[in-house]
Amino acid sequence: MTEYEKMRSQQLYCFEDPELLASITRSNELCAKLSTMTLSSADYRPTIEALIPGFPKSSAINPPFHCDHGHGITIGEHTFINYDCIMLDGGEIKIGAHCNIGPRCQFLTPQHPIDYKERIKPVETCLPISIGDNCWLGGGVTICPGVTIGPRCIIAAGSVVIRDIPADSMAAGNPAVVKKRL
């Protein structure tokens, strides 16, 4: 099994693998190019579609935007992601349709070893993140590895989501907890 396959299957993998480093370099170059654009720039659409395969025409990511690979990200129709979003997509990141993602949100899939002896090695696992349809994440929300947020949720600005949030919930805080059902 390649290091890429291990990464995508939530196994411990070496992030210094040449194939993975080439993928990150490609993504970094596309993100750097994107950071010089606006949503109305002529090269915006071809660049974002090269970065994130299958990116819907009805969706938008407001630059600047940063990600590790791009090909680990799936975004639904009519979703808007505001400035300064970070998606570390070693693990897959799936965002549903009709979502609004505030500025400076972070989607973090890497999980480093707990044992410090393992942590000094260039290894990690990546756990997927999933955001359901019709969600709204306020500015500065951080989504931690392995989290699923159900459809129709609101996550308050500045929240740090470390556990799954059930559908039709409003969550807030650090760590985020469900404050009420919608």
Q: Is position 112 annotated as part of the catalytic site?
A: yes
Q: Please tell me the distance from the alpha carbon of residue 60 to that of residue 82, in angstroms, as a whole number.
A: 8
Token output for 127: 């756990």
Considering the candidates 66, 69, 71, 112, report the single residue annotated as catalytic. 112
Tell me how many helices (H) and strands (E) the chain has: 4, 19
**Long-range contacts formed by 54-62: CB under 8 A, 24+ apart:** 61/85, 62/103
- Any idea which residues carry the catalytic annotation? 112
